[in-house]
Amino acid sequence: MKRLVASLMLAATAAGAVPARAQAARQAGTVKVIVRDQSGAVIPNATVVIKGTDPTTQELVVPAVATDGQGVATAVSVPVGRYAVSASFPGFETRTVPDVRVRAGDNRRDITLPIEKIAESVAVGRDAATSASDPKSERFSNVLSKDQIEALPDDPDEMEKVLNEMAGPGATIRVDGFRGGKLPPKSQIRSIRFSSAMFAAENHSAGHTFVDISTQLGLGPMRGSMDFTFRDGALNARNAFQPTKGPEQTQQYNVNLSGTLRKDRTSFSLSARGA
């Protein structure tokens, strides 16, 4: 009789364990992580790692997943719990969201990666007076790496905006020593240097930062742009406090043209503006 009761209890326990395991299997979710840069553009092929942080998941590390062409990394069948979600990509700083709660069903998280901080370089081993008077000295300058240049936006206007944000207020961008022109495409850029030698003799605007862009000769396709602005005061209303309305007219134009004359040897860049 005792054996019969024990057998019945084991059978009941096993029958109850099946639904419990099935319920535990159902307690999993799908995690979608969207990785973006500081301008809001998505980053394809970024690496996303999900690691458990609470007692029920702390031993669990979800296999690393990469973002697709839309910047979305998808991890499926992630058990319910709390996790730390990390995203990384070359040329950007790694970011970790420490406490992400995963519930059953779909879970979404956005992570923004800032561009890596500029590494400072200091010229050493030279006479101090000679180094200070050398206009090519790196004593007061920072240079972007190739990965950091590749991480910049492809659109020249967006790239100019990011460079200005990195350099700070009042920065001046120079392309091959010239100001005011349109930025070249990334395929033509050889180096980008942030110069803060505000008291150097060659800098006429003391107190400002210069962003010097050097291009590679003979690379990139022919490209150009032109815009024209015309404004006439004929359609403007007269100032109520003035007896007559004076003439008013504004005309402005900008023309940019650059390209390759001889591959790997010679390039040209033309920029003109007027009013």
- Per-domain residue ranges for the chain? 29-113, 128-215, 223-274
Give the lowest-confidence range in 49-53, 114-118, 188-192, 255-259.
Answer: 255-259
Residue 20 vs residue 116, higher pLDDT:
116
CA distance 261 to 255: 19
Q: What is the mean pLDDT of residues 108-112?
A: 93
pLDDT digits (tens, 9 = 90+) for 122-159: 555 555 444 444 444 544 567 888 888 888 888 888 88
Pairing, β 47-52 against β 81-88: antiparallel
Residues 88-98, mean pLDDT to the nearest whole number: 92
In this structure, of 45-59, 104-118, 207-221, the range with the lowest mean pLDDT score is 207-221
- pLDDT-wise least confident of 66-80, 168-182, 194-208: 194-208
Which has more confidence, 158 or 231?
158
Confidence of residue 187 (pLDDT cuts 50, 70, 90): confident
pLDDT of residue 46: 94
pTM of the model: 0.39
* Fold of the domain spanning 29-113: Immunoglobulin-like (2.60.40)
The CA-based dihedral angle spanning residues 124, 129, 134, 136, taken in that order and rounded to the nearest 10 degrees: 20
- Per-residue pLDDT for 212 more than 50? yes
